Amino acid sequence: MKRLILSVIAMCLVWGASARIELPKVLGSNMVLQQNSEVNLWGKAAANKKVVVTVSWSKDKVQTTADSDGKWAVKVATPKGSYDPQTITISDGEAVVLDNVLIGDVWVTSGQSNMEMPVKGFGRQPVEHSYDYILSAAKDANRIRMFTVKKARSYGEDKEDCEGGEWQCSSPESVANMSATSYFFAATLKDAVDFPIGLITANWGGTRVESWMPLDALKEVVTPEQYEKKQTIHNIKPSELYCAMIAPIRNFTAKGFLWYQGCSNLGDNDHYDTMMARMVQQWREDWGDSENKMPFYYVMITPYTYSGSNQIAYPRFVECQIRALSKIPNSGMAATTDVGEEKCIHPAQKLEVGQRLAALAMAQTYGMKGFEPKGAQMESYKIEGGKVKVKMTNAADGLSPWYGEPVVGFEIAGADKTFVPAQATISANNEVTVWSDDVKEPVAVRYSFRNFRPGNLKNMYGVPAVPFRTDNWNDVM
């Protein structure tokens, strides 16, 4: 019996010495690797074992030696993106083969429930055009690949690997369950750039920006009092999602980021923009980007009743999101003034959101021209003859509606600070003239400056103007 036990122990030791390569879940068959890059590959092997990586697109082999804990990492050069499936073999004596790998651009997407909302929608909350995209998904099996990070939490301690997830090819089932905003972004972009798009998405509904950044970074941008409050204000604490869902994927070489979050931070108007900018800085550092080369595109939260349709918490938060543009280099915001729903915080029009994010990327990242991806914003205003003339930016080709259709969504006030609905017309020089017969001497103008106040001012490409005001009366509604 003693001899048998010793034999079993010896066999276990031999097996352990030649342990098979272990890879993080985000590295696998069907994945997309970032093109024209030195991409990271990493994992575990037997301690002090030589690890050899071979790839089908190159005759060169890359090798390294695992450390005493079995950890190893290499960089592999990738070519220009294409639809040709590739193979990666990683061996420490026993090979692990990753097949059906594509080379293209990888985008990391994250946020709360409006980014999480799948193409098939939530219960009793559909997504427009979902059926068309689900039924036709298989045609993009070699164009769009997706990885969804499984939800997990870790307070202040970075996890080495995701709790779950695997790379999936575009198919009716995988697309139905994929983040709608992310998928519609990829579905729009892949036709414009003509190479594969990989999506890595990490989302959790109802979460705050603090959850998606490490504690040290948060402490840099909030007061001690704010920091203490943020430990108890939400059931998910600061850093928990960063540590468990972002840290495990930060070695995966990527092109850029998409972000759709903010509703849970409504009211943090004095520091949300600073927190988000610090989060972006952290993510770029994590991905090895010290020069702000990785674009960061985010979605303006949509109109919704929130604490009351006539309140102004929503547009005040949008002002904060606009300020973030100047604090985050190489960024852009997709306007959504026209897609909100008064009674549902999850708008069905995710296709428009994904398209607008893709348009930002096409213009700012890929250098395409011929359209304006950004929402019109107020540049300046002047008061003349009882009317207010507002000059708009991001509308070089003009504004709409045109030819007699009324412009709606404007309000105007005099010195008494009482806002009333206003009339508005568009002139050829990107000005909007606003007035009301009930306000003879106007002082201030607002556009869509309520939690839910539909407006129809857009640029000539259908991108809506963002909410704005000429006053700073935070106590006036």
Contact predicate 44/85, CB 8 Å: no
Distance CA 408, CA 446 (A): 11
pLDDT of residue 205: 98
Q: What is the mean pLDDT of residues 85-94?
A: 96
Which residue ranges make up each domain of the chain? 15-103, 105-365, 378-469
pLDDT digits (tens, 9 = 90+) for 98-145: 999 999 999 999 999 999 999 999 999 999 999 999 999 999 999 999
Count of CB atoms situated within 10 Å of the CB of 326: 10
Distance CA 22, CA 226 (A): 41
Band of pLDDT at residue 428, cut at 50, 70 and 90: confident
Is the model more confident about 402 or about 181?
Answer: 181
In the DSSP assignment, the letter for residue 209 is: G
Please report where in the chains the tokens 């007061």 appear, as a residue.
223
CATH: 3.40.50.880, 3.30.450.20, 3.40.50.1110, 2.30.42.10. Which one for 105-365? Answer: 3.40.50.1110
Say whether 105-365 and 15-103 share the same fold: no
Q: Omega before 24 cis (within 30°)? A: no
pLDDT of residue 13: 38
- The share of the chain scoring above pLDDT 90, in percent, equals 94
Band of pLDDT at residue 19, cut at 50, 70 and 90: low
Distance CA 180, CA 119 (A): 4
Distance CA 114, CA 110 (A): 10
Q: Which CATH superfamily is domain 15-103 in?
A: Immunoglobulins (2.60.40.10)
The SS3 of residue 259 is: strand
pTM exceeding 0.85 = yes
